[in-house]
Amino acid sequence: MENKIRQLRKGVLELAILGSLYHESHYGYSLIKSISGERDIEITEGTIYPILGRLAKEELVRSEWMESRQGPPRKYYSLTDKGKKAFELLHAEFAKLVRMVGDSSAAPEKKPEPLEGERIDMKKESDDGE
């Protein structure tokens, strides 16, 4: 079961990364903060780097090193045009899937909110990573 949860999370994580970068560019650590926010989602933070690497290879994101006011330089990521289109498509598809799961599972006690997943790209403004 643990494994299933991890797999599900990984798939959604990629979408969340794209969603977060859709609005503004991030470096690794700020991206994690922007995705997890104050929510209690356990992610092994290191896993975003392989995903970012793959997205860069697919030319969905581009990256750029920038000096930081303190500490070592940061590698900033932002979406390419291709990445923006990809996110819009994926996001629409994901919303459909979430609705599908919501309709079909009909959990007995509490009704799942069908549009829960669509909020995933809404970034918490409080974490601007500085």
Residues near another protein (CB under 8 A) are 6-7, 10, 27-30, 44-47, 49-51, 53-54, 65, 68, 70-75, 129
CB nearer to another protein: pick between 69 and 119: 69
CA 25-28-32 angle, 5° bins: 95
| Helix/strand/coil for 70 | coil
Q: For the CB of residue 108, give the shortest distance to another protein in the complex, in Å.
A: 32
Q: For the CB of residue 57, give the shortest distance to another protein in the complex, in Å.
A: 8
The C-alpha atoms of residue 110 and residue 49 are separated, in whole angstroms, by 36
Q: For the CB of residue 109, give the shortest distance to another protein in the complex, in Å.
A: 32
CB nearer to another protein: pick between 11 and 105: 11
Q: Six-digit token pair at 10? A: 């990984």
Q: For the CB of residue 106, give the shortest distance to another protein in the complex, in Å.
A: 31
CB nearer to another protein: pick between 50 and 96: 50
Burial call 40-68: b when 16+ CB within 10 Å, e when fewer: eeeeeeeebeebbeebeeeebbbeeeeee
CB nearer to another protein: pick between 68 and 105: 68
- Amino acid 16 reads A
C-alpha closest to that of 19 among 115, 117, 99, 96: 117
